[in-house]
Amino acid sequence: MAASPAVGSRSNRAVLLTVTCLGQFMVLLDNTIVGAALPDMQHRLHTQLTGLQWIVDAYVLLVAMLLLSGGVFADRFGRKRVYLTGVAVFTAASVVCSLAPSVGWLVAGRVLQGIGAAALSPASLALLTAAHPVPQERIKAIGLWAGFSGIGLAAGPVAGGLLTDAFGWPAIFLVNLPIGAVLLLVGLRSLEEARNPSAPAVDVPGTVLSVLGVGALAYGLIEGGARGWTSPVILGGFAAAVILLAAFVAVEARRSAPMLPLRLFRQRLFVVSNTAMVVVGFALMGSSFFFSQFFVHVQGSSILRAGLQTLPMSLAMVVVSPYAGRLAARHGFRIVVTTGLALAGLGLLALGTVRADTGYGNVWWRLAAVGVGFALTMSPLTGAAIQAVGPQEGGLASGISSTTRQIGAVLGVAVLGAVVRTRQSGGASFETGLDSAFLAAGTVTLATAVFTGLWLTRSRTAEGSAAPEPSTEPGAATTSNEVFANSR
């Protein structure tokens, strides 16, 4: 049974709700605020597309690979302790980023930010859940927590445009300093410690091998366009990725409590849903990486205006996401996911036909279509992954679903960036390279829509099993991974 703090007074719960939601807001704001500042970073830091890819992927890679371990770490060593440590690391890393004199220092700061976020996010929701043992109160609290996540995503492009236009790109990181300071001061005084003594041990070998393996793959994809795809260092990076990821699979197959139980992949529904989630992260993050650059470098917008111009996609996601689960419950995972992927794929293909002289009135609806499409996919895909496994492993399944989306995001920035670099090395313009990247993302997304339309169903061996229901009993033990992943 997980150790839980006393429920406390209504005012204490209100303070805890504010602290945990504000922490999650800070992390999600960082996901989108950086994209708005990429053109200014490129200009002031004198870097090329490869440098911008590392600025984004360094953060996403660490979040993706440490998310599951961060939740287990919080359960074992104290959710308050891990949450506040994550806040401190994230805030300090934001200062490092703002003071970075070069791309190398900025990437190092982004790595530290990713480590802080991977600790902060699951611990924040675990604290929130432990303080609200009554099911209905817990649902409301998690709804507010998720709502702050949506606000952070939607506010990022506008806040990034405003801050960068007024003060330059370092300001997008300094905005985290007062938020982090308040969270630390209030959190130290108001949060109660909670832990789960029966939580499994952290899978250190699996975590290290996954970070190194995916990192080596990302290195080969990002640097290949600049160094040459047949250069020894790039071929060596791909070879290292294969060896490290093979070692990861071998280690996970032998551990009694692996971070990624390979037996889950015997279920077709689990495999198909996670494969589709990789594509969602790939196309969504990979295309979003270029939105501000398109408006600034191709259409000549200011950084502030570009931030506003990218808003339709994030707003569409915030508005539609809460309804995706309900639609899936009514019409089934396959119909909703396939429809969403088809809409997003068509939107991306439409973006691939936008030109420098295309009016914004003929652009915004394409961004909105992409946002609506992907909003329809994420929650149902997580639900499908949960339904594919047993009732006791729903939290783990949804955590893996969130991780696969982040892995797709790492690969999306790397691969679509490689598409642009390859076209440019062949003499094409940046605009033409972007067209190719959007068309590639749209094609992959549409192909995945066909894939889910055919295969996003239970295998025959699982058809008779009941769908798992999350525990809502007041005293139920809940791990950080479960509560965090189920909310994503």
CB 2, CB 195: distance < 8 Å: yes
pLDDT of residue 127: 85
Contacts 24+ apart (CB under 8 A), 233-237: none
pLDDT of residue 485: 40
pLDDT of residue 478: 38
pTM for the whole structure: 0.87
pLDDT of residue 123: 87
Q: How far apart are CA 75 and CA 3, in angstroms?
A: 9
**422-423-425-428 Cα dihedral, nearest 10 degrees:** -170
Where is 71: in which H helix or E strand? helix 49-77
C-alpha distances out from residue 268 to 389, 391, 447, 461, Å: 10, 17, 18, 10
Where do the H-state alpha helices sit in 310-360?
Answer: 311-331, 333-351
pLDDT digit string (tens) for the chain, length 488 residues:
444 444 456 667 788 888 888 988 898 888 889 999 999 999 999 999 999 999 999 999 999 888 888 888 888 888 899 999 999 999 999 999 999 999 999 999 999 999 999 999 888 878 887 777 777 777 777 777 777 777 777 788 889 999 999 999 999 999 999 999 999 999 998 888 877 777 778 889 999 999 999 999 999 999 987 788 899 999 999 999 999 999 999 999 998 888 888 888 989 999 999 999 999 999 999 999 999 999 999 999 999 999 999 999 989 988 998 888 889 989 999 999 999 999 999 999 999 999 999 999 999 999 999 999 999 999 899 889 888 886 667 767 878 888 899 999 999 999 999 999 999 988 999 999 999 999 999 999 999 999 999 999 865 544 444 333 333 232 333 344 433 443 34
pLDDT of residue 390: 67
What is 215-254 written as a DSSP string? HHHHHHHHHHHHH-TTSHHHHHHHHHHHHHHHHHHHHHHH
CB 41, CB 47: distance < 8 Å: yes
DSSP E strand boundaries for 102-167: none
pLDDT of residue 10: 67
CB 452, CB 337: distance < 8 Å: yes
- Residue 416 token pair: 């679509």
pLDDT of residue 153: 77
pLDDT of residue 142: 74
DSSP 169: T
Instruction: Using the Cα atoms of residue 237, residue 239, residue 242 and residue 247 in order, give the sign of their dihedral.
Output: negative
CB 207, CB 53: distance < 8 Å: no
Compute how many other C-beta atoms are within 10 angstroms of the C-beta atom of residue 467: 13
